[in-house]
Amino acid sequence: MATLAGPPAQPAAATPSSSSSSSSSSSSASANPKFAHPPVSILPSRFARIYALAHPALLLSLVAYRFSSVTNDPVAELLGDIPFLVGLQVVFVMGCLPPAGGERDSNSAITETTPRKPTGPKRRGHGHSAKVPSWSTGLASLAWKLTPALLSLTLTTLLATPILSFLLVLFGAPVTTHHALTFLCAAHMALLSCFPLIYVHGVDGNVWREIWGAARPTDAVWGGALGTCFGAWFGAVPIPLDWDRPWQAYPITILTGAYIGYAFGMWLGRVKGVFGKRINFAPGPEQVRDLKVE
Amino acid sequence: MVTPTTNSGCAVSSADGALRKPRFSQDPSSRLSNPQNQAVRRTREPEVPSGMQSRATNGLKDDRGKHLEEEFKYKHLSLLGVFVWILFLHVVGIYFFTRGFLLTRMVLENKSSCDVLPFSDPLSSQPEHSTHGGCWHPKSFDKAIVIIIDALRYDFTVPFAPNAEVENAHLFHDNIPVLYETAVNSPQNAFLLPFIADPPTTTLQRLKGLTTGTLPTFVDAGSNFAGTAIDEDNLVAQLHGAGKNLVQLGDDTWHALFPGYFDPNLTRPFDSFNVWDLHTVDNGVNEHLFPLLASQNYTKWDVIFGHYLGVDHAGHRYGPNHPAMAAKLNQMDQTIRDIITKIDDSTLLVVMGDHGMDSKGDHGGESDDELNAALWMYSKKEIFGRTSAEKVLPPKYAWERFVPQIDLVPTLSLLLGIPIPFNNLGSPIEEVFAGPSGDDWSNLVTVNRLASAQIKRYQHAYAETRGDEGAEAQSVGLWETAEKVHDSKPESPVSVYEAYRQYQRDTLQVCRGLWANFNVPSMLQGIGVLLAGITLLVFYARGLQGDRTELTAPFVSRVSLGSVLGAVAGVVLAGVGATELKVPESSALMAAIGSIFGASSAIFGSPQRVSIPLPNSLWGWLAVIFTLSQSVGFASNSYTIWEDEILLFFLCTFGVVAGVSSMRQESTTDRVLGVYHSIVFVILGRLASVSRLCREEQMPYCRSTYYASSTSSTSAPWQLAIPFLVMLILPTVVKGFYAGSKSYEGAASLWIGIGFRLGLFVTAIFWMLEELDGKEWIPLSDETLKSIRVFLAQLVLGLAFAAGTTGFIYSKPCVSIDVAQSATEPEPNRPSSPGEQQLPRTTVTILGFGNVYGTRFFFLSINFCLAITLMQKPMGQGAMALLLWQILSLLEILDTNSLVTSNSPIGPTVLGLLGSFYYFKTGHQATLSSIQWETAFIPLTTVKYPWSPLLVILNTFGAQILTAIVVPLTALWKRPLQLRDTNAASPSTQKPALKLISDVAQAAATYILYFATINLATTMWAGHLRRHLMLYRIFNPRFMMGAAVLGVVDIVLILFSIAGVRWSTLSVGEIFGW
């Protein structure tokens, strides 16, 4: 926690959107924003490589195993599943992903270009540990990694979950009823998508501007987050059908879609041809702008 | 946004909307001096707006301008020709599909006659009956009074019985107890049964069924507005033929169906469509009915048909759960009691509903509540019986022991001693012929044998005429079985009765299936024309490179040539007899085919101009996904039922993607504005989705909010605040969007700030008076109030259409031009070019330059928005206001994401989604019963053609009409004004006006493409699922809606949107040159 208390003047708790707009001038000032925030790779340790593969499988089997009880009593089951989901995700991010700033340290070329980042102190602190790889399995390192994990968890609960609940309502979730379900659904989705994102990127305004603009280069974390959203979107498709199946009840299909999308997105984000690529909205103007920048 | 040389400034200029010609945009002083200002200061140059130049020095340019103006007008007109052709293809395609799809039944002209019994064997003729009077069967009554209480639902007539859906009695319960009381107290004198209608449940169709005994087919539903005489054998004709004197009182639909059958001196028809008038018809019927029942007049008539409309009108106007309905039912109760006291022993009294009403009081479809009517018969003689003890009490619910409505035909025929009409499919009602003690089985066998024999005779004749033994063969076995049982003369006649009964009901089922008789080749022709039209439209909208106006001339000439050749070929084909189509049909079809070939040759004739119309951006794919996934969804009844929620889902998806895309914009202004408007867009859509009118199939997962309650069609008191809120907020919102580009200049303040607001204020007053009507809060008579309301409504429509259109044609653009002669401020950074003269400087400040096309054209949308708002119920007015706001936000999103200049398909497609979405949010559903017919009387007191149908269209398709009006704005909003530069040459690129209408045409074609795809999908699915259980309930109404929307949208685009671009562009050109 000491490292976190460090950041002096920067409003660390600023919402991503506001910080992104305030940092926009700095981004245009930097030489080439495209390469300022490279995609996140899974840590090179053996455990990380294995668990990164096992993690989506574990999540999916959790879905399959608990599916029938979710249809029976969705509120209780979704609530009861949250600790398991948190546990799995914490193991995943701490075991397989570099915490906020760590990635950038290893990429020394641009370390000095962004000295004003709110994550600065964390990054520096972690940089020491990265230099001593033998410690990475040690208890101290684990405890040290726990801090950003806990912080990400807090932000996920306080920020991401309400935002996602609001989005669910905007997409047509009931306003007057099903509040607990909407909130739990949002919590699950936030834990899947936002928790790793916050752990890896902190509250770096430039990265979050890329995230809001869906302009991140593809990696496992971003692929998982995007997959969660797409999966949830497609999960809404079977709801109106008149098959009268209990699993068609809101929000079971949405969450199932989100889990499947997360697993698929994580896998796809690491595939060789996809890793590092960005989504292009309109090729024409984008190319024109690239030319302008150069 | 700006000309190509200044791409770096693209985003900024789109946000602030300033005019910058290339060379000035590099001049920082002009921007820095006025960073937030939409004005631009230009030093006087040789090429300032031509309208401000002196004519003497610029005669040559004037000529060129005039030439360009003429060219624009000509190209614009021929462009309209292209869209007329698209409309023509749609009409032909839909016509041919409809011709084969909407069910048809052959009408046989055979009549039953008194002398010819339906039996083939002479033995069974029963001579003794003719002595009793009566043709095939001894008659029981000389006279009959048939009272039809329009929309008398069965549950109105029986004591309230709580069930799972309804726990407490509503206002419509227990208010007409006379029917139930008499049936319980004296079962030999009266009986009451549920009386189930065959859909469609419109009055005209029901009267046909109730008098001919046949099943209506769907195609007749459209003729409700102009009823045609019945050719088939029917009750009224048989009674007339038997020499009875017939009197008809009430609903004038009868006269359309049976012209010349009624006694002209005693008959009193009343206008049936003024649904806001609850009392005129009913009081009129009473006024003329009771004198006829007086003893001195009792001999003047034989059968009276009295048709009361008050209950139906109360349902349409207020919904069933309203005090007005209770009062109306009480009045009917008293009327029936009065009639009972006046009739004699030889008179039969029949009271029935021709259909029911749904929970909001409307009808036309086939939900249970619409089908369940009530039938009650009464006689002073003890004649009715029950065959078992459990049948003594009238059923509690409509689904128990019901009789089909066509059963009335044989029953009345046999009771009054006339032949059963030739085409009857109904059965004699058991309670009528069972005898007072309920055991007269031989009579039941006799009447059922008669009815069965007539049915068999009809089946045989029908099969012979059609040359197809299908229907007869399917059930004739049962007839033979029944005859065998009859001939074997069993101990108990019950089995004979049952056997005949089974034959009758089985035949009815067979006929129901058989008359779903589709003409598949015609359907395929229609689909083929629609499909070819869509294919060409795809290429026209998305696959053409360069300027569409260059293509227009060869396009129109080839299409004309093709259609003329085709039409001639069609006439020849029909004349030679090579086709069974009639001459106009054949020539229309061939003209469509010929024009398709002509258009293909024009489009594909120059391959360098055509590209594969695949989307090249995420936006393009999004538009394709929205359109196609919705189209595929219409194959499923669930996705059709839940269309409103799906549209919300898509619109929200678009808003989120737009927000994400806005985050990618380079300029801060674009980013902030884009994200802001995306959020506004999504939230407004969700807010609008609160306004719902659930269709029956959405229950129980849906709660209607459009009216005061689910059983009413009036607004709740709090909803009356909505029009006033709209009046306060909406003009301010529009003003904000104008002010954002400094365009709240010129006519805008008058138009938006005063005209629009005033119109909305009058609308609010109108609807307040409307909802207060009938509550007697205002000490004025109903007539005075009605004429005040009509005046107010006509005032609003006059403001919107008469004044609005005039203003739109003659108004100047929303700019303010300020010429300051003395302004000689030095501009140090300005590069001095060699050709420049050092004259005294004149600074021209133009406010509102950045959005000159958009704001000028938007006036048209305001006119239509005002008129459509007037035509909506208060909740719908809120929805229309949200729609206008969402449209403006959408336009800003398109602009900040550079989607205006790139002609992205997403803009028109999202407008199409918005149009469909708000169709549901203005209290409509894809069902016939959701049409708000009563809105035809907002500015009128009586039905007037063609205004009444137009008003209903304005109410029903208001959302699609408004979005069609704004379609050109997806190419015009904040479109940069490209002034010709004398120095930069290349004349081919110097026709910005032509590029403008080319872009408008592309946007309009894309918008049509959305609705045409939906229409083709619903058409194909309805055709494919033509044997589906839910065809009439879900797929057919959706197909009809899709076709109607497509036609309306095409016509609105041709007549108003694309046509309107002419005036707005001319007015801009007048100021700024061509």
- Both tokens of A20, joined, read 């992104």
Tell me the average pLDDT across A157-169: 94
Please indicate whether, in this complex, the C-beta atoms of B664 and A215 are within 8 angstroms of each other: yes
- Please report the pLDDT score of residue B836 as a whole number: 47
pLDDT digits (tens, 9 = 90+) for B756-765: 999 999 999 9
Contact B1012, B1053 (CB under 8 A): no
pLDDT digits (tens, 9 = 90+) for B960-993: 999 999 999 999 999 888 765 544 444 445 678 8
pLDDT digits (tens, 9 = 90+) for B375-404: 999 999 999 999 888 888 899 888 888 999
Contact A141, A129 (CB under 8 A): yes
User: C-alpha angle with apex B1061: B1055 to B1067, nearest 5 degrees?
Assistant: 130
Q: Does the structure show a pLDDT above 80 at B3? A: no
Q: HSE-up of A162 (CA within 13 Å, CB side)?
A: 6
**Cross-strand bridge partners of residue B845:** B41, B818
Judged by DSSP in three states, B403 sits in: strand
**From CA B689, how far away is CA B692, in angstroms rounded?**
7
**From CA B179, how far away is CA B177, in angstroms rounded?**
6
Nearest CA among B874, B886, B948 for reference residue B918:
B886
Question: What is the ipTM score, two decimals?
Answer: 0.80
What one-character DSSP code corresponds to residue B150? T
Q: Does the structure show a pLDDT above 70 at A15? A: no
**Best interface-test mutation with B: which of A171, A229, A234 has the largest number of B CBs within 10 A?**
A171
Alpha helices in chain A (DSSP H): 2-5, 16-22, 24-29, 46-72, 74-96, 102-106, 120-131, 139-155, 161-170, 179-201, 205-212, 220-235, 252-270, 283-293
Tell me the average pLDDT across B55-75: 75
Q: Which residue did the predictor score with more confidence, B883 or B2?
A: B883
**From CA B855, how far away is CA B73, in angstroms rounded?**
21
Q: Does the structure show a pLDDT above 90 at A252? A: yes
Q: Does the structure show a pLDDT above 70 at A61? A: yes
- Please report the pLDDT score of residue A134 as a whole number: 52
Please indicate whether, in this complex, the C-beta atoms of A282 and B618 are within 8 angstroms of each other: yes
Q: Does the structure show a pLDDT above 80 at B675? A: yes
Which residues on chain A are in Cβ contact (under 8 Å) with B645?
172, 240
Measured over the CA atoms of residue B175, residue B180, residue B186 and residue B192, the dihedral's sign is positive
In 10 A of CB B1032, how many CB atoms?
Answer: 17
| Residue B652 near chain A (CB below 8 Å) | yes
pLDDT digits (tens, 9 = 90+) for B566-577: 999 999 998 888
A186-200, B107-121, B924-938: least confidently modelled range:
B107-121
Domains along chain B?
A: 56-101+520-825+839-978+990-1072 (no CATH), 144-437 (3.40.720.10)
A265-269, A284-288, B981-985, B1063-1067: least confidently modelled range:
A284-288
Question: Which of the four pLDDT bands, split at 50, 70 and 90, describes residue B25?
Answer: very low
- Please report the pLDDT score of residue B598 as a whole number: 94
Tell me the average pLDDT across B180-198: 92
Please indicate whether, in this complex, the C-beta atoms of B617 and A282 are within 8 angstroms of each other: yes
Tell me the average pLDDT across B560-570: 94
**From CA A78, how far away is CA B99, in angstroms rounded?**
54
N-to-C CA span, chain A: 42
Tell me the average pLDDT across B640-654: 95
**From CA B311, how far away is CA B326, in angstroms rounded?**
9
Q: Which residue did the predictor score with more confidence, B607 or B749?
A: B749
Nearest CA among B757, B754, B752, B691 for reference residue B723:
B757
In chain B, which residue's Cα lies nearest the Cα of A16?
Answer: B663
Measured over the CA atoms of residue B1006, residue B1010, residue B1011 and residue B1016, the dihedral's sign is positive
| Residue B675 near chain A (CB below 8 Å) | yes
In chain A, which residue's Cα lies nearest the Cα of B680?
Answer: A170
- Please report the pLDDT score of residue B511 as a whole number: 81
- Please report the pLDDT score of residue B19 as a whole number: 40
| Residue B5 near chain A (CB below 8 Å) | no
N-to-C CA span, chain B: 18
**From CA A286, how far away is CA A280, in angstroms rounded?**
8
Mean per-residue pLDDT of chain A: 76
> What does each C-alpha distance from B870 to B360, B757, B919 come to in angstroms?
21, 12, 15
Question: Which of the four pLDDT bands, split at 50, 70 and 90, describes residue B218?
Answer: low
- Both tokens of B429, joined, read 């009602």
Residue B390 Cα, gap to closest chain A Cα (Å):
36
| Residue B639 near chain A (CB below 8 Å) | yes
Tell me the DSSP string of B987-1023. Answer: GGG--HHHHHHHHHHHHHHHHHHHHHHHHHHHHHHHH
Please indicate whether, in this complex, the C-beta atoms of A289 and B656 are within 8 angstroms of each other: no
Q: How many CB pairs under 8 A join A and B?
A: 80
- Please report the pLDDT score of residue B44 as a whole number: 39
Which amino acid belongs to residue B453?
Answer: A
Tell me the average pLDDT across B1060-1072: 90
Peptide bond into A251 cis (omega under 30): yes
**From CA B379, how far away is CA B382, in angstroms rounded?**
7
| Residue A284 near chain B (CB below 8 Å) | yes
Q: Does the structure show a pLDDT above 70 at B28? A: no
Please indicate whether, in this complex, the C-beta atoms of A282 and B619 are within 8 angstroms of each other: yes
pLDDT digits (tens, 9 = 90+) for B102-144: 766 777 778 888 878 877 654 444 444 444 567 888 888 989 9
Q: Does the structure show a pLDDT above 60 at B685? A: yes
- Please report the pLDDT score of residue B914 as a whole number: 97
**From CA B980, how far away is CA B1073, in angstroms rounded?**
8
Contact B172, B320 (CB under 8 A): yes
**Cross-strand bridge partners of residue B372:** B196
| Residue A281 near chain B (CB below 8 Å) | yes
Q: Which residue did the predictor score with more confidence, B328 or B56?
A: B328
Tell me the average pLDDT across B660-683: 94
Mean per-residue pLDDT of chain B: 84
Residue B872 Cα, gap to closest chain A Cα (Å):
24
Please give, one letter per residue, the 3-state secondary structure of B903-968: CCCHHHHHHHHHHHHHHHHCCCCCCHHHCCHHHHHCCCCCCCCCHHHHHHHHHHCHHHHHHHHHCC
- Please report the pLDDT score of residue A138 as a whole number: 63
Whose tokens are 């190319």? That residue is A287
Q: Does the structure show a pLDDT above 60 at B52? A: no
What one-character DSSP code corresponds to residue B242? T
Q: Does the structure show a pLDDT above 60 at A259? A: yes
Report the share of chain A in percent with pLDDT over 70: 70
> What does each C-alpha distance from B772 to B170, B710, B778, B854, B1032 come to in angstroms?
22, 20, 8, 40, 37
Please indicate whether, in this complex, the C-beta atoms of B683 and A170 are within 8 angstroms of each other: yes
Q: Does the structure show a pLDDT above 90 at A286? A: no
Q: Does the structure show a pLDDT above 70 at A1? A: no
